[in-house]
Amino acid sequence: MVSEERESIRKAVNDVLRRGRAKVVFTKLDGTRREMLCTLNKDILSERGVVFGESAKPSRRLNESVVCAYDLEKDGWRSFRLDSLESCVPAGA
């Protein structure tokens, strides 16, 4: 995946995640398919008592090929690679 294409996909995925809940489907490193209900919406995270923002981010190098989101079913931060992404669509309320 070229850098410009990856950045465009990353921006679109982050926009969907920031707007509310999203259903993300991707292939895990072990080859299994994963469906995840997740978000980056500050209001939803606040309702759950999740710390979000600069102070919550680990101090490590940013990988532009990976998106981190809060898994609403597992109640924890998860990540997925953009090159393994099948879909990312709004999940409604």
Domains and CATH numbers, the chain: 3-90 (2.30.30)
Query: What's the whole-number mean pLDDT along residues 24-43?
Result: 96
Smallest CA-to-CA distance from 7 within 67, 47, 55 is with 67
Evaluate if residue 55 carries a pLDDT over 90: no
State the sign of the Cα–Cα–Cα–Cα dihedral 73, 19, 40, 46: negative
Q: What is the pLDDT of residue 3?
A: 85
DSSP result, 35-90: EEEEE--HHHHHHTT---SGGGS-SS---TTEEEEEETTTTEEEEEEGGGEEEEEE
Q: Are 36 and 42 in contact (CB under 8 A)?
A: no
Evaluate if residue 60 carries a pLDDT over 90: no
